Structure 1
């Protein structure tokens, strides 16, 4: 029987699909209603409810175009970076961990997809600690 750590590493990763599905359920809205408010603020293009269903179900196999991600972010009412990170994880099997190190400063690091959630959390903490250590001499010298 595989350990829980092995199961974490072998489980299909569908962070964007799962996020959309959870949003639809938690907000008690239809895919059609979500599509109606999913307009790209740059191009004005809208995604269809069928496209959103395809993403949510995992049927969409290719990485969505940027305009579609912007439209989806607008419809979901979340930051584009959150949708982009979830799409990168799901379609490119590449994870990005971002840690805020100051009021307006962030550190972004590549995290191997084989790491468990606990290992990912530790990488983010280490990156944050390194950034704080590097910043301390600069603040002490001011």
Structure 2
């Protein structure tokens, strides 16, 4: 059937507890609680900031100093 059970599990959990799952890189996810009432553009800012922070921290943990 080709269903990614892990993805469905994550999305169900996100919907159940009211968080946003942000795919940051090849199946790695960050879970972020986004305050209710934000506009779509403000939600996108939160998502982009979380994704950027995850990439920065991953770069630091790999010894990458080009931040």
TM range (shorter): 0.5 to 0.7
Q: CA deviation at 1:82?
A: 4.2
Deviations 1:42-85 (A, max 9, x none): xxxxxxxxxxxxxxxxxxxxxxxxxxxxxxxxxxxx82424861
Between the aligned partners of 1:83 and 1:131, the Cα distance in structure 2 is 20
Q: CA deviation at 1:96?
A: 1.2
The answer to whether the 8 Å contact 1:95/1:112 transfers is: no
- Relative to its length, the structure with more strand (as a share) is 2
Question: Could you list the runs of 4 or more consecutive aligned residues of structure 1 that deviate by over 3 angstroms after TM superposition?
Answer: none
Unpaired runs of at least 5, structure 2: 1-6
Q: CA deviation at 1:140?
A: 3.0
2:27 maps to 1:98: no
After TM superposition, the score normalised by the length of structure 2 is 0.66
The answer to whether the 8 Å contact 2:14/2:20 transfers is: no
